[in-house]
Amino acid sequence: MRKSGQIAAKTLKRALEAVKVGVTELEVDEVAKREIYKLGGDLSYKTVPGYKYATCITVNEQVVHGIPTSRKFVDGDIVSIDLAVMYKGWHTDCAWSMLVRGKGKGERGKSEKTKFLKVGEEALWLGIDQAVEGNKVGDISAAIGGKIEGSGYSVVRSLVGHGVGRSLHEDPQIPGAGVAGTGPVLTNGNTLAIEVIYAKGAKEVVLDSDNWTFKTADNSLAGLFEMSVIVDKEAQVLTDWRKV
């Protein structure tokens, strides 16, 4: 799991660096694919029937499960990259949202988007802080939801974090909102993919015409932050791309 997470972190960093005005989603996906293979990993998403890409890439009102396309990024886009790595049968999962900055105007709009993304990132770390032995899943959920909804945004209720390990998606489900002190107990060695999936507007999402991509029902902006962690006396983050 640690090696898998290290590969995922390095890949996410390279993918985020590749996002620039004029670059396509498919080009970023290719960067991620090459990096995973170069580092000795494999594509976790190959285990999802019908999916052939290294990443899911979503833009603006898209929430999760976006299929990489030939769409080019433009100044002011919010871009979320979600990727998972398999190493010797062990999976890790991570995601991050960023603002594309070019030479366009509209700094006020960018400032609002920056604030929106900062809240999501802070919610992720607050949730991770609760991933310690003896706590419950609800402690993670309450920390995330309190930050997001206390800031005036909405947690997407129908999409959740999850356990991760021998499979990409395992129990328990980890909602982004909930009640502290409820749910399954976290034990030492549990491996979790903690996710912050949220919207600037309403919490409802709809499935796009490609039958993969979820987007906000009201076309408001969405954000996505995710890290894989090991539950311990203090959560051990496996996929922190900022530290590789």
pLDDT of residue 123: 98
How does pLDDT run across 27-71, given as a tens digit for each residue?
999 999 999 999 999 999 999 999 999 999 999 999 999 999 999
**SS3 call for 225:** strand
How does pLDDT run across 191-240, given as a tens digit for each residue?
999 999 999 999 999 999 999 999 999 999 999 999 999 999 999 999 99
pLDDT of residue 191: 98
Alpha-helical (H) ranges within the chain are 2-18, 25-38, 107-129, 137-150
pLDDT of residue 43: 98
- Residue 106 clears pLDDT 80, i.e. is over it: no
Domain that holds residue 116: 2-243
pLDDT confidence bin for 107, thresholds 50/70/90: low
pLDDT of residue 102: 82
Question: Smallest Cα–Cα separation from 92: which of 218, 6, 187?
Answer: 6
Q: Return the structure tokens found at 141.
A: 């959920």
DSSP 93-123: EEEEEEE---S-S-HHHHHHHHHHHHHHHHH
Domains: count for the chain? 1
pTM above 0.85, yes or no: yes
pLDDT confidence bin for 108, thresholds 50/70/90: low
How does pLDDT run across 70-94, given as a tens digit for each residue?
999 999 999 999 999 999 999 999 9
Read off the CATH number of the domain in which 223 is found.
3.90.230.10
Percent of the chain whose pLDDT exceeds 90: 96
